[in-house]
A and B are shown apart, each in its own frame.
Chain A
């Protein structure tokens, strides 16, 4: 299946700072999904993007899908301690292929 590369692997920020994680593919993606996994927990679906150039917002989270549908980003504005966890992008229909994840830690 199509692979998605996700960077960075780790990110440590001060509470209140912004955070961004990126996913890239060498091929055009039909869709991109984002999941959050809290420490010790399971992945929780956040959002799905399907349209070229799509931008969606969920409170402090902004999700973008590139014009060429080969990359996507998740941006968190003014992080809070509740944002701690690993953020995964994933692509596919039914059978998901996950990126490597970005582990976000926050210094309160």
Chain B
């Protein structure tokens, strides 16, 4: 399967600051990447679909101006949480879909804590 990395793995920041999370597909050119959010003891919820070279597609209820996604290359997508607040504290996970198969391979995730 595809190997996916995320950076950073942990972020602690003050309320009001912006945080950028990187997702890299290390061995696979991903035209599409996905960003999920998982609150403690809850399931994963899809936030947005990141498309290389075009605008991301956001799920209902996810503010595109707050969660900025940039997919500038086939191996890198970034998620920027702008003006982060404590309620944005969560586990952010990206994934790539490997070719025509519908399985997804997840990155190790980024834990964000906003104080």
Contact = CB atoms under 8 A, between A and B. Distances in A.
Interface residues of A, number: 20
Given A94-B32, A94-B97, A43 B102 contact: no
Interface stretch (B70-78, B79-87, B103-111): B103-111
Nearest to B108: A42
Interface in B28-52: 32, 34, 41-46, 49
Interface string A67-107: 00000000000000000000010001111111111010000
For the complex, would chain B's binding face be called helix, strand, loop or mixed by DSSP majority?
A: strand
A97 B45 CA distance: 7
A43 B106 contact: yes
Given A42-B109, A43-B93, A33 B103 contact: yes
Interface of B: 1, 32, 34, 41-46, 49, 93, 95, 97, 101-109
